[in-house]
Structure 1
Amino acid sequence: MARDLRKFIQRLEERGQLKRIQALVDPKLEIAEISDRMLQQGGPGLLFENVKGSDYPVAVNLLGTVERTCWAMNMESQSELEDLGKKLAMLQQPKPPKKLNQFIDFGKVLFDVVKAKPQRDLLPPCHQVVLKDEQVDLNKIPMIQPYIGDGGKVVTFGLVITKDCETGTPNVGVYRLQLQSKNTMTVQWLSVRGGARHLRKAAEQGKKLEIAIAVGIDPLIIMAAATPIPVDLSEWLFAGLYGGSGVHLAKCKTVDLEVPAQSEFVLEGTITPGETGVDGPFGDHMGYYGGINEAAPLIRFHCMTHRKNPIYLTTFSGRPPKEEAMMAIALNRIYTPILRQQVSEIVDFFLPMEALSYKAAVISIDKAYPGQARRAALAFWSALPQFTYTKFVIVVDKDVNIRDPRQVVWAVSSKVDPVRDVFILPETPFDTLDFASAKIGLGGRMGIDATTKIPPETDHPWGEPLKADPDVAAMVDRRWAEYGLADLNLGEVDPNLFGYEMP
């Protein structure tokens, strides 16, 4: 049975994680303001059913918690995400099985690949309504404007599909699009992304680039498209592996591309190489306005199809927490086994949400030789494409809980000599949205070795770590109730006790 946005909304509603709002709301600023307040409180997904200027409802904040992100991937907990990562790691660098249990595990993965093969729908729901040429009016879609300084309305959860004009290989990505007119939009993609590469190839051959935008799709496909790991699989097969069954696809009406058959909206058009529009400014994930009046590729749409009574799915960027941060936390778990396979000394790694889920990484290693922390940091930067723009890598020992900022700060404070243990790589490729760099697109990276030092890293013995006497600790465990402390509720610790919050 095909998965789609509507089934996910139904699942959220059944679990008490969806709120329908009948009051009239404005897609300009108001929807984002309501959604952001709800997200900050860990509240439910929202379905605005009465949107000013549109006949269609708007869904937002559906992936506003890590729990709901797991549900979107057909899982109940983050531990299952790591199991998926192990499966993907096995596919990325397959090794001949040496033991029976390894042979069985590899066979299961291969069977999953077979199940993940895309399926084709001849009568797809996304073609229930077909509008062409002058009938196309993008203003009918209730696109939101999240911030007052934004250049206009945007599509943020659109699946952007292009194809290599030489090989025919498709690329599926999630890029921000800005409304320009009733039938045009600009697209913002980094030069290293697949869509940008396809446009350059089309330009070399003097061709227009065909493009399709699928909006209102199964959130699982969005998660798959947002995971640029180097597995030799199509994004559709990759999404099938995520969900346990093949994605249902449909041929577009006017371009030679395929889109998810259950999409709520599909926009079909072309980009003429060299034709651009003024894009931005827009509120981005760094927490600032970026892309001020940039020239971006212009898409001219000549066909729009949609389901009957379509639902518009959207989100918006900004300083964490936002939906993209929740997605990144889930992806962190998937990356872990893949990263371990790429960099063997890594025990665990963590991308803090407060560091935008990619600007800073904390990795733990089982240290065995001098210089290993530096080697691990350098290997991390080149392990996966999404770590290219990680500015800071902190390496700690395996006994440090990398998800506890108190332990990480302790490790940095007690084990780092800045002269010896901090190294900087200058003028490396950099995120163009990062205003901290002196030159746009070029900046430095810092590695911090916060591991225990061993000779010849240091010429003096390291101090003996403080530990409780095991016999006394065991005795206290036995007598805890006798002390009259068993009934105390020692759950979440008030951050004010340690000075983490202002009074």
Structure 2
Amino acid sequence: MARDLRGFIKLLEEKGQLRRISTLVDPDLEIAEISNRMLQAGGPALLFENVKGASFPVAINLMGTVERICWAMNMQHPEELEALGKKLAMLQQPKPPKKLSQAVDFGKVLFDVLKAKPGKSFFPPCRQVIVEGDNLDLNKIPLIRPYPGDAGKIITLGLVITKDCETGTPNVGVYRLQLQSKTSMTVHWLSVRGGARHLRKAAQRGKKLEVAIALGVDPLIIMAAATPIPVDLSEWLFAGLYGGSGVQLAKCKTLDLEVPSNSEIVLEGTITPGEVLPDGPFGDHMGYYGGVEDSPLIRFHCMTHRKDPIYLTTFSGRPPKEEAMMAIALNRIYTPILRQQVSEITDFFLPMEALSYKAAIISIDKAYPGQAKRAALAFWSALPQFTYTKFVIVVDKDINIRDPRQVVWAISSKVDPSRDVFILPETPFDSLDFASQKIGLGGRMGIDATTKIPPETEHEWGAVLESDPDVAAMVDRRWAEYGLADLNLQQVDPNLFGYEMR
């Protein structure tokens, strides 16, 4: 498979996971409505070939299932994502190998890092067509408007690339951009993000910040850019580790920045520190419209693109959405890293219905009283992306955390709210969470749903009900004799938590 968007689209079509739509469609509301119905049903990716007011086709819902995300990352099964997480965990906190096998494993990881180094492309496809000056008009890109209350047209899956003016270190992030004029857009990023830090440094030096937007890139690179794991690796190297080979980069035409050479479209511009415009409101992942916020203004002066480019997009909202499916895949990658950070955690899960980060269920191998509370507190501080997790439910290791029936049973049978629920008030919080009494400041709740041991309880805990193993084995052997062999009785799929992972 070619390491670009077109190669992935071809793969999806070969696997029967792409539907081409030749009927005329409107990028204003209509494309999002069609795509949302596909997402709700776990349907195929869509390629709209006849978009009103545009000469470019629009691709959407390419990463609308975990299965397709695995394909984008050159994997076949979600279990392989954990193997990738183990590799990243080894790089994050390398330890001296104690056995020959450990030394061999670490050597393989280092070799993977060497293979993942980005390469250079001197005749990049993204520079096949160059548009500058008065010919530049961002309205020619089929930007979508997903919801009727949205302030305007947006870019959602563009790589926003900036560089630290002191160190030269690049940052690659995925931020929302709002169209403001034919040559300008506002960028919505949190103050802690890399692009925002680069803008502050540029302002201190009295310089403009160069910004490149790469549209229609290999979905694997989007996954790498969306992974906020604290490893001292560039996003380009991360993408190379994800894909098994280095990303090919090319210099921008007018900026001192590098972009993936196979990008479908590249926008080149600058931000003048202090120049802002109102951005929003837009529908967000919480399921509500966000607020209006003054955001940095990017003034573009150049656009390059491939011949007959394809515009890749998506949109936020209440799950299921593409971003939720990406979060499920990232959950698998985080697991080994989290185990390394918090040794007592055996597994963890972020349900999609809880927006893939607002509630976490973690299982522990409980050995001493108070351990569940310690694990919850350690979870909140283990990785930056868990800072905004509101609820942490801790269960015993024998509970299948992906089975809602088992989790609810553990909460119902093992929790005394007066003893097992604890709240941390007024902690730094997600500004998009309207449930908080003060925007940007909110509480967190931990729930200890583990079996209690002294001195957590003053009485003996009841024995868990279990079948007699000999009788259970006999019933297995005689199942056909009962005339029940034709019944397909199944337990809850461990990958289900109120949704199907297709």
Partner of residue 93, structure 2: 93
CA drift at 1:207: 1.2
Distance 1:475 1:42 in 2: 40
Distance 1:39 1:60 in 2: 10
Distance 1:194 1:428 in 2: 22
Matched position secondary structure for 2:422: strand
Give the alignment of 1:64-463 within 5 angstroms.
64-291=64-291, 293-463=292-462
Task: Show CA shifts across 1:367-394 (max 9, x none).
Answer: 0011111111111111111111000000
Matched position secondary structure for 2:336: helix
Q: Does 1:60 align with 2:69?
A: no
Conservation of the 8 A alpha-carbon contact between 2:395 and 2:450: yes
Distance 2:492 2:212 in 1: 50
State the AA in 2 paired with 1:408. V
In the TM superposition, structure 1's runs of 4+ consecutive aligned residues that sit over 4 Å from their partners are: 491-494
State the AA in 1 paired with 2:302. C
State the AA in 2 paired with 1:443. G
Distance 1:493 1:475 in 2: 23
CA drift at 1:204: 1.4
Distance 1:201 1:427 in 2: 30
Distance 1:472 1:20 in 2: 55
Task: Show CA shifts across 1:240-284 (max 9, x none).
Answer: 000000000000111111100000010111111111011111010
Task: Show CA shifts across 1:175-206 (max 9, x none).
Answer: 00000000000011111111111111111111
Give the alignment of 1:11-90 within 5 angstroms.
11-90=11-90
State the AA in 2 paired with 1:37. R
Matched position secondary structure for 1:187: strand
Matched position secondary structure for 2:363: strand
CA drift at 1:132: 1.7
Q: Does 1:464 align with 2:432?
A: no
State the AA in 1 paired with 2:247. V
Distance 1:276 1:428 in 2: 29
CA drift at 1:492: 7.6
Distance 1:491 1:368 in 2: 33
Give the CA RMSD over aligned residues: 1.4
Task: Show CA shifts across 1:209-252 (max 9, x none).
Answer: 11110000000000000001001111100000000000000001
Distance 1:349 1:79 in 2: 14
Distance 2:258 2:275 in 1: 24
Conservation of the 8 A alpha-carbon contact between 1:415 and 1:450: yes
State the AA in 1 paired with 2:61. N
Conservation of the 8 A alpha-carbon contact between 1:91 and 1:231: yes
Task: Show CA shifts across 1:401-444 (max 9, x none).
Answer: 00011111111111111111111111111111110001111111
CA drift at 1:288: 0.5
Matched position secondary structure for 1:349: strand
Distance 2:277 2:473 in 1: 70
Distance 1:266 1:94 in 2: 37
Q: Which runs of 5+ in 2 are unaligned?
A: none
Conservation of the 8 A alpha-carbon contact between 1:126 and 1:261: yes
Distance 1:343 1:332 in 2: 15
Distance 1:137 1:442 in 2: 40
State the AA in 2 paired with 1:164. D
Matched position secondary structure for 1:487: coil
Conservation of the 8 A alpha-carbon contact between 2:56 and 2:309: yes
Distance 1:107 1:493 in 2: 40
Distance 2:262 2:441 in 1: 41
Conservation of the 8 A alpha-carbon contact between 2:403 and 2:492: no
Matched position secondary structure for 1:289: coil
CA drift at 1:133: 2.6
State the AA in 2 paired with 1:21. I
State the AA in 2 paired with 1:477. D
Conservation of the 8 A alpha-carbon contact between 1:186 and 1:276: yes
Matched position secondary structure for 1:455: coil
Distance 2:418 2:203 in 1: 49
State the AA in 2 paired with 1:59. A
Conservation of the 8 A alpha-carbon contact between 2:217 and 2:263: yes
CA drift at 1:2: 5.6
Conservation of the 8 A alpha-carbon contact between 1:2 and 1:248: no
Distance 2:331 2:349 in 1: 7
With the length of structure 1 as denominator, give the TM-score of the two structures. Answer: 0.97
Conservation of the 8 A alpha-carbon contact between 1:394 and 1:450: yes
CA drift at 1:313: 0.1
Task: Show CA shifts across 1:267-306 (max 9, x none).
Answer: 1111111110111110100000002x32111100011110
Partner of residue 475, structure 1: 474
Distance 1:492 1:50 in 2: 45
Distance 2:189 2:202 in 1: 16
Distance 2:301 2:146 in 1: 27
Conservation of the 8 A alpha-carbon contact between 1:2 and 1:247: no
CA drift at 1:134: 2.1
Distance 2:206 2:426 in 1: 34
With the length of structure 2 as denominator, give the TM-score of the two structures. Answer: 0.97
State the AA in 2 paired with 1:248. Q
Matched position secondary structure for 2:459: coil
Distance 1:489 1:96 in 2: 50
Partner of residue 483, structure 2: 484
Conservation of the 8 A alpha-carbon contact between 1:432 and 1:441: yes
